[in-house]
Every structure is written in structure tokens, then in C-alpha cells.
Structure 1
């Protein structure tokens, strides 16, 4: 603590008052200052029959006042909620008394990070192992060199060269996947290869024969128009290399219309072994990346965050391990016939070509006319932003599970759910889309909020597409309907759902939780309050019913697993 806000600072009085309040707040006992010097003081305090030591050092240097506080315990344990509560109680009591609070070291946070780091490696390496195993048997040992895109190979070729120089014993082994970033691992799972369609516009144009049966006149004109547009773009690129940026999008659209998916890595190779969809796995992997960055970058970790990270990493590791087991069983059963019997699933990815004159019309009229995919992307962005804020607000609540999948906006679906671990209640957001990409049309998206099976509220987003009309007098396209997005209820959705969660699934405070761990999951989430609806002894993390003791004199619920005497009754008996 740096620079006290008090005009006069009495070291002895300040520390004694502070620890007295800590003792009262934590229901501690046996507070004793056993070392008292002019600039250092030492005390011990007993919480839940465990002794903790607090050292105070007061230093004045160059007009700067510093109060250094060290906290330790007799037996170091990674998961000790009392030392966690002790350090936070001290911090919260005095932080407003000082200009700065500098956290120099937190060994408990370091223990949490070390334990979580093992889980990080286990999850990452399990996915690397699965990718390598599956693709090796389906595509051969050279799958990395043959199928991976240039930017990915170049990125890790340079990196691997440096790594192997430092570890010469591994210079002659293949280690690409060991150095692949976690984001790129998912890009391999969803990677696709493409091929030219057998029936493409260039073949149709080249093989045109006026003496044989040919497509209709309209189809021929369309083919000629596409080829002419392609030739025009190529001529620009060949004569002016700098025009690549201007024509990149139109050229890409022309090419997309003439190709189709050849190999879809997820559908062809990975989907049969996973218990979840690619969209669900990507969502879990994104959360894992966020947790990974927090742990890997030496950020502080408290007990609640540790429990949350531990659970999410465990769930992800279980999904990947299950996929490994499923693939190994299948391969063992099929043996050498696996590659022949695996059917490649071809999923055609169609793109609607944007004509060059449409772009000119939009620029001339000063309006934006979007296709269906663009309208969906625009509305998805605002929906995702809103619900990400909601998820962030409740992220560290261990008594509820949250599921969010970006709505596709192509059909009615449930895209957001909050389920309580103990109560048989859920809150869900359904989406009812009506997307119309016609010029001047309005696309509506209704978000319906349900508590269990009861509709409690609805909200609406909508987008009005741009529209133009040709003005013969001015020989130009004029604005008829301006494009506009209406998201005025965005804030209302966030406020309503957060208030609904607080009302239907109230969070239990730390004071209502027992200091003994759950007998099933070993988490400190056992309810000991009779004031809420969860039931005494219920673990809010896994739902297990634990036995808590009662006072033998007044029958009050005790913060322990066995019967005994509450503090008040103990005092009464001691006085008799």
C-alpha cells in the first residue's frame, strides 16, 4: 500500500483496528499480535481451526509512505478458501485509505496457474494428437505438405527451424503440429479443399456448337456475359498490376461460381468422432483460448476463476478424448479397409455472384443493397455483441451453465440458454427470422425470451434494404428507399435478461456457503442458508446433497460436517 490518505498515521492503532474488523468479518478467533516493533508488527489469526500469519512492515522513504503486508499459513494448500478470503478482506478494508495498492506476489494464484497450465497442455496436445492421427490415416503421412495452405506452412517452417536449432536431438522429426497455435488448430479442423466443377462456364463457352443442341438463348447470353466480365478483369490485371485490389472481389466471385468443395475436413474426417457440432466445438475452443491467454500471461487467478477454468477445460478435454477413443475403435474394427470405406461428403458451397453493374448502381444512387448473406451477417453482429455482454456479466457464476450459438437466422431456433445446476429452471432466447433480400424490403428478426416453457417478452431487430429506380429524365439511378438498420431494443434485451436471471436464479453470496468442500466434487459451493430455496447442504456446483452439522443446544445449522455447538451456545456454556 502506497501513500496513506490520513493526515496522521499511527501504525499500531491502524493495524489493530484493521485485524479486529477482519476477525469480525471472517468469524475468526484467537487474534494475537506477537511481535510489536516501531516499523514491523506480526500477528496470528485462527480461521476454521487453521492458523494464518500476517506481517506488517511500515516504511517511510523520500516522502513516500508504504505499508507492506505479507500473509502466510502453517500448511500450504492450493485450494484454501480461507486464505483467499483473508487476503481479499484485508484488501477491501484498507484500499480506500491509500493512493495505490500494489500486488507484489500471490503464491496461491501461482499455484492455481501451475495446476491449470498442466490442463492447458493436456487439452492442446490431445487435439494435436487427434488431428495428426485422423489425417494421417485418411490423407497419408504428407498431409501437411500436400494440403495445408501456403501461409500456414510458411509460418511454422520458420518457427520450427528456430526450435530445432535449439534442440538438435529433434532435428530429424516432424514437429509442425507441436508448434501450431491454438487458433490455427481449429482452422485445420474446418479446412476445405476445392476443385473446378466439371460443368463450368468456360467449358460451356468453349464447347459451344451452333449445329448441336445448346442451352437456351438466355443461358447463352448469361455465359457470354460471365466470360466477358472475366476477360475484362484479367485484361486489367495483366496491363496494370496495381489494379489487383480494385478487381480482387469481382475476380474472387467469378472463381467461386466455377468451383465446388472437394474435401471438407470436418464433415469428411472429424465429425463422425465428435459428440458435438463444429459450431459448438468452436465456441468451446474460443472460451478455452480466452482462459488460456489469462493463465499463460501470468494474470492473477482467484478461487472462483480457478474453479470455472478447471471445469471448462475438463469438459473440453473429455470431448476430445471421447473423439480419440471413437476413432481408434473404428479404425481397429475396419483395419486396412478404412480409407476405402470412408465416404467423402461433398458439400457444395454456392456463392451468389454480384454483377459489376450492381456496384455501379449503388455508388450512383448512394445506397447499399445487400444480399441475404450480408443482411444476416449485419444482424448477427448486433445479436452476438448484445449476448456477449450478457455472457460476460454472468461468466463467473458457477451455479449456472450458459450455452450460446450464433443464430443462423435461416430458421426458428434456440440460440441462448441459461440452466441452473440445482433449480429445475431455465431461461432461453429463441430467434424467429424473416429475411427478405429484395430491394426496399424489410427483414425482421424477433427474439423471444422464455422462462422454462413460458414466453415472457419479445424484442425486434430489423433491416430495411436499399432500393433504387431509374430516372429517364436524368438518365441515372436515383434513391428510392435508403438502407437502414433498427436496433433500438438492443440495450433493452441486455437489461431485461440480466434482471430476469437475477430474479429467477438469484446468486448465493459467499456468506451463505459452507467452508467445507462438497463430498462429491470437492468444490466449496455447499449451501448452508435456510433463507434461500436451494436446500441446506446442496452443492451449487454439482447438486450433491451434503450433511451439515446442527448445534446440539439450539439446532442452528453449523459451518461443519458434524454436530456440535454454535459460537453463541459455546459462549453460554463457558459462562455457566
Structure 2
């Protein structure tokens, strides 16, 4: 028989006195619940030659073999389920093996019987054991095997696209000129199982000798580093014309590290933003997020982790989203052949790579003090990560409310003007709670930055000023060493306060009308009264929550999702139906379709 699934249960929670009865009860429960169509009995001959029917076969002590039948597309499919009790080092375990000669593992587009059988069986057994260890799964292997070629093609599409774009806009030496050191170093250092150091490139060339002449650096870097390349921001010094620096050089003024750092900091600017100036013209705003999801799924497949049908479909769809967009981006890039204005922008940003003096000084200070000075981008990322946590928390808390809708979180843009972050829309009244901010960033040592987080609903406005302070150092002039003065400080609890206050405000002011009307219906059923809802489904959400009681809400408004309907009241039966009074003449009766058919049949 072909083994389909094998797993084992370890660590009994309580002693099993009679193993045969234990398994008999489990299999009987499966049969009674309908999860097993039928258990095929074995014909066993006793020592006296008498034949009898038995639910299982046991040729080896503590090994029980059950044969079950399942109906698959008008075809009987037989499975063997073998339970084996085993003891290792005084520790008992139960091994389970599911086999079949005629079951075909394939993508059926829906949950297979094998998937349901192994999940139900393992969960049932888990109630009596401490751990469930999966050993082999042919179905999971099938799904992974189907996905891996898609992952491989899509990953290489990304590498191909980056290479095509970068060669055109930056030249054939773009890798050496632009790629950050932290990515390059991954190719220069690696260790084999014996701990011997070597580079990924030399290992690759030694293994694939036919491609020794090929520059394959982009093919060897991690998938996540591809995103780092397309979102690369390069900083360089502009022309420096400083009276202070001239005074230092000429010896007219005593050398001052703080003044030097300030002057060099003023000159440093972002000269090249690959995403903003190039890749964003071919890829959507969602691409980076979609590709990070692809990377996560790719690693899941590459590391041979278990997947089921639901995960297979989710990963497959994620791959398709990225693959289709990369295909379209490549086609657009080729057809556009990069407009001249983009080439000009990139060419203007080209200059000899050099490290600024303040970066060298920072490295020295950080190595001696153990402190880390967050740069502007890092401080913005810190604020943005906490706002994103706030957004995700709120969205998750109201994910089951169809009457509340969240706009996309736009992220923080690096400017000091007020900017909107996201909106929360109450679809019953179209009220909006808007969250926005403004910030002032100072990334020098010992300086503080703040974000002014605000939210507004109508005239109600709440503000939180949240500060971050970079660490600072002091210099020991005698020892010529830098010493820590104080560490970084961040008012993170204010984000938690803002999150809780916004949550409470939404719960109070964006009422759950569905719950309110459900309570009203309970009283009407109990004490009597008119139904406040039309007995027809909403065209948007499909729920029967369309309001006809104007003391509760506007007539025709779905209290579940906020969709508006035109309603007419049937003059014969008194029930509401979708229709508009303007479609009828003044003396024309308002009749629903049911009553209209009734009149026609009389």
C-alpha cells in the first residue's frame, strides 16, 4: 500500500488500560459521526478452524490494522489505518499510518477526504496525548511540489526586472556602486558544515563550473534583499561652502567636533531614491507589501513546512499577484525604454561613493559608548511602526462590523506639514473619524523629536504629543574616549493610551445598530409591536436588516452595512419591496411581484 500520511502521538496524559477498547471506541465514534462510511471487517480463523468477523487485524502485538471505505466520485476508495503502540526508553507512543492503493492525491479544488480524515483523527487522539508529531504527508508534499516552480519563476522574474532596470539607469557596474555593504557582505562570508569560511560566489562557481564566467551576484542574494535594492535611498554630500570648515582648515579657529558634525550634516542629502524616482513608476504602492508576503510564503515552501489545501490556495494566489505585476512592469519598462527625464535624474545622482566624516565619527562613538543614534529614517520608522500597530489593533477589533470601514494606512511622509494617516468611516451615517499627524524630526545626538498624533470626529479633536529623544554622550578629554551620558527615551505608552481612547470612542459613538435592532426585535416578539425591518435582504451584504422604522434610522437604510435602498409598501399585502415611488404614476397601485403574480393568476 502507498503510505499517504504518518504521524505519532507521544506522552500519554493517562494510562490506557485496554488498547484494543481504546481504539475501538475512537473508530466507532468516527463511524457514528459519519466521518467514516464503513469499517471493512477482517475474516479471522481461530485455532479450531472457526471463522469470525473482526473489525481489525492484529498480526503483531500492539499493532491494529483497520480498513475503511470512502465513496469518491461514485468510486469506492479503501484506506488502511494502522495504529502501533511502541515503547522507547520507558516512554510510550502511538504511531498512526494511513495508506491506500487507489486514492489519488490531487488538487480537487476543495477539502479532500484525506485532509479531513487526518485532521479529525489527529485532533481526536490529541485529547489523550501531550504531543502530535507529523512524520510524513504525501498531500502536503504534493501541494509544495506544485507551488515550488511558481515560486522559482516569480523570484527570478524579480531578479530579472531589477537587473534590466538597473543596467539601463545606472550602468553595468550598478552593483558595486549602489548595493549596500550589508548585502554584499552576505556573499563574501559563509561557512560550511565543518566551519570553514568561504564565499557564496566561490561555492557557486565551484559547483556550477559551466557558469564560472557569469556575474551572478543578484541571483545569490536573499529574496528579502531584493526589496532593499528597489527601495534603496542613497545619501551623499553636496558641495560644501562653509566659513566654519574653512576656518578649521586654515587654523583660524580651534577644531570643534560638534561644529564639524553640524556642518557636514547640513550638506548631506538624499540624492537617489530608487523607488520614488524609478521603480514606483512601474510597480504599484502595494507591491512591496505583496512581495514581503510572497517572501514569507516562499520561505515556508523552501523550508519544507507542512501546508494544507487552504494554505496552498492562499500561497498560490499570493504568488500570482506578484508574478502578474512583475510581468506587466517588465513589459511597461521595455515599451517605455525609460523616459529621458528619469535617466537625467539618475545621472544627476551619480557621483563617486564616499563616506561622510560624521558617519565615521558616529561609528567611533557608538563603538565606545554602546549607544545607537537613530537617524531620521529610523525615528520616522519608530513612529510609523507604533501607528501601524494602533491601526492594526483597531481594524482587527472592528473586523466583524460591516458598518465600519477603514481606509488604507498611508504611512508617514517625511515632511513637517499635517498629513492624514487613515480614516474610520461609520457607514450608517457616513460619519468619519480621521487620524492624522505632523512631526518634527531632529536626529542629532541628545536631541528630541516629536510626532503630534491627532484624531478628529466632527468638531471633537484629540491630540497627543509623543516624544523620542536620541541618546547622548560626553567626551573624556584626558582619556580621549567617548562616554555614555544618557540612553534613548521614547513615550510609547502614549500610543497605547491613544489606541484605547479611540477604540472606546468608536464603540460609543459609532453604535452597532444591528445589535440595537436585535434587542428591539426580541421585545417585539415578546410584547408585540411592528417589525422595524423590511423582510428582504440587503443588495450589498445580503442580511435582512433594512430599516423601515424612521424612529430608528432612515427608511431603506441597511443597519448592518449602511447601504441605502428605495422601498415601496405593497398596497395588497403590506410588505415592503425594492422600488421607487417615482417609477409609478400618481394613481398607479404599488404592488409587489408576489401579489402581482397572484392577480395575474386569478
Interval of TM-score (by shorter of Structure 1 and Structure 2): 0.5 to 0.7
CA-based RMSD of the aligned residues comes to 5.2
Alignment match, 2:343? 342
Which of 285, 291, 297 pairs up with 1:291? 297
Assess if the C-alpha contact under 8 Å between 1:23 and 1:29 holds in 2. yes
Alignment match, 1:265? 274
- Separation (CA, whole Å) in 2 of partners of 1:448 and 1:375: 25
Change (3 A) 1:164 1:416: farther
Alignment match, 2:420? 413
Which of 60, 73, 77 pairs up with 2:106? 77
The alpha-carbon deviation at position 64 of structure 1 amounts to: 3.7
* Matched residue SS, 2:292: helix
Alignment match, 2:312? 306
Higher percent of residues as strand: 2
- Alignment partner of 1:2 is 2:10: yes
Q: Deviations over 1:466-515 (max 9, x none)?
A: 8xxxxxxxxxxxxxxx98552343663797799999x899xxxxxxxxxx
- Separation (CA, whole Å) in 1 of partners of 2:406 and 2:316: 14
Which of 447, 466, 469 pairs up with 1:463? 466
The alpha-carbon deviation at position 148 of structure 1 amounts to: 3.1
Q: Deviations over 1:59-112 (max 9, x none)?
A: 243544332222345121145513222211112222011132211112222222
- Separation (CA, whole Å) in 1 of partners of 2:429 and 2:207: 56
Change (3 A) 1:259 1:22: same
Change (3 A) 1:11 1:166: same
The alpha-carbon deviation at position 132 of structure 1 amounts to: 0.8
* Matched residue SS, 2:127: helix
Change (3 A) 1:411 1:150: same
- Separation (CA, whole Å) in 2 of partners of 1:228 and 1:496: 60
- Alignment partner of 1:381 is 2:370: no
- Separation (CA, whole Å) in 2 of partners of 1:115 and 1:424: 45
- Separation (CA, whole Å) in 2 of partners of 1:172 and 1:379: 47
Q: Deviations over 1:349-369 (max 9, x none)?
A: xx9x9xx9xxxxxxxxxxxx9
Gaps of 5+ in 2: 1-8, 43-55, 189-198, 350-355, 362-372, 400-404, 470-488, 515-536, 544-602
Q: Deviations over 1:298-346 (max 9, x none)?
A: 2222222222222222111222111101011112xx8xxx668833167
Assess if the C-alpha contact under 8 Å between 2:187 and 2:201 holds in 1. yes
Assess if the C-alpha contact under 8 Å between 1:2 and 1:101 holds in 2. yes
Alignment match, 1:103? 134
- Separation (CA, whole Å) in 2 of partners of 1:264 and 1:95: 53
The alpha-carbon deviation at position 9 of structure 1 amounts to: 3.8
Assess if the C-alpha contact under 8 Å between 2:231 and 2:274 holds in 1. yes
- Separation (CA, whole Å) in 2 of partners of 1:393 and 1:305: 24
Which of 136, 159, 164 pairs up with 2:200? 159
Alignment match, 1:512? none
Equivalent runs, 1:388-403 vs 2, <5 Å: none
Deviates more, 1:259-268 or 1:311-320: 259-268
Q: TM-score, normalised by structure 2?
A: 0.57
Assess if the C-alpha contact under 8 Å between 1:379 and 1:461 holds in 2. no
- Alignment partner of 1:171 is 2:201: no
- Alignment partner of 1:15 is 2:8: no
The alpha-carbon deviation at position 417 of structure 1 amounts to: 8.7
- Separation (CA, whole Å) in 2 of partners of 1:64 and 1:383: 50
The alpha-carbon deviation at position 41 of structure 1 amounts to: 1.7
- Separation (CA, whole Å) in 2 of partners of 1:150 and 1:370: 19
Change (3 A) 1:434 1:41: same
Kindly name which structure, 1 or 2, has the bigger radius of gyration based on alpha carbons.
2
The alpha-carbon deviation at position 447 of structure 1 amounts to: 5.0
Alignment match, 2:158? 127
Assess if the C-alpha contact under 8 Å between 2:437 and 2:453 holds in 1. yes
- Separation (CA, whole Å) in 1 of partners of 2:505 and 2:40: 49
Gaps of 5+ in 1: 209-222, 234-246, 357-368, 450-454, 467-481, 506-529, 537-576
Q: TM-score, normalised by structure 1?
A: 0.59
Change (3 A) 1:495 1:383: same
Change (3 A) 1:100 1:533: farther
